[in-house]
Structure 1
């Protein structure tokens, strides 16, 4: 087992100090090899030392401008700092240089989603769900994106897929309720808001929406 393998093992065991020693050894042994810097950057990300992590990823890119995982790491640094516009380019470069992984597409999609660029976000979130169809959170975010684009029927189908993966996903029920209101199906909406509140009694949005629907139905019945 070489220094990198040992370091990764220590990192997985949350023995960060030992991991740092191994990655330092790897860098000293092969200073022109980007993997040592990438792994040290990942370690610093785990330790929430974002500024130093960025420097390690940048050094890896300096050594190999096609180091896809270094771009991905740098994108994550900017994302964690809330710099979504800045995070886009590294995520795009990670994909461009061959990182055909669900997380790369998902993170690029999220950076666009959080900038309310829903239409550009959609294909990336879709690709993320295609690569990992069992990931409920990626499926959910894709559903939110569809809803923002007023693709209500597609959003409903997607939120139902989320519930197939996790029947206790309160936010999926809440968003199905909102979607039902768009289709003027008040009783169905109420059913989903009730389910959301059964799963998560402190779901404020569902509670507020339920009260509004009940008020509207009550007024309608009085007429």
Structure 2
């Protein structure tokens, strides 16, 4: 097993010092190994040193680390809520050939966090196409579809989300809201009840349920 692979195994086990040692040995032996810089940066990010991690990602980019280096930098910017910088990094990762579900998902989420759900849609759609078993991607895609008024499509994605993750209270809540907007109060209340069974203190579900019940009683 080479040192990069050894370091990755150490990371999986949470042995950060051993991982860092393995990656640093690769860098010392081959200072032009971009992968080792990416891996070392990921260790630094995991242990809470984002500023130093970014320097390693930048070095990896300089060495031709390609899409993986830009993705790692983007994930760090995203974590720091620097969504414009994150978006640029994820876009560049695509240009460098990184066409993964995770990269498209993270790019879409940069638009979600800046209130541009319409711009997020094609990237979240692509993320779901590349990984149909990603419950969170389906959930976020469903939310964006709902925000754009595409309720039938939103319901289909949220239903798929709860098939994959039956305890996703927020997915049930948003299904309840979508059915309510389609004036299917019975289905809406059923979804809200399921959200509250999973998370009894879900305030949004509680409030929406009260509104629907009050509306029924006044009719």
Q: Report the TM-score, using the length of structure 1 for normalisation.
A: 0.95
Residue 145 of structure 1 corresponds to: 144
Residue 203 of structure 2 corresponds to: 204
Q: Report the TM-score, using the length of structure 2 for normalisation.
A: 0.96
Gaps of 5+ in 1: none
What is the Cα-based RMSD across aligned positions, in Å?
Answer: 1.1
How many Å apart are 1:48 and its aligned residue? 2.1
How many Å apart are 1:186 and its aligned residue? 2.0
In structure 2, distance between residues paired with 1:138 and 1:182? 23
Give the match's secondary structure for 1:211: helix
Gaps of 5+ in 2: none
How many Å apart are 1:198 and its aligned residue? 1.3
State the number of aligned residues.
219
How many Å apart are 1:201 and its aligned residue? 0.9
Q: Which residues in structure 2 correspond to 1:142-181 (within 5 Å)?
A: 142-181=141-180
Instruction: Give a deviation string over 1:43-88, Cα, whole Å, max 9, x none.
Output: 1121121111111000111111x61100000001100000111110
How many Å apart are 1:32 and its aligned residue? 1.4
In structure 2, distance between residues paired with 1:33 and 1:170? 44
In structure 2, distance between residues paired with 1:190 and 1:59? 53
In structure 1, distance between residues paired with 2:161 and 2:76? 28
Residue 185 of structure 1 corresponds to: 184
Flag as ranges the 4+ runs of structure 1 deviating above 3 A: none
Q: Which residues in structure 2 correspond to 1:41-120 (within 5 Å)?
A: 41-64=41-64, 67-120=66-119
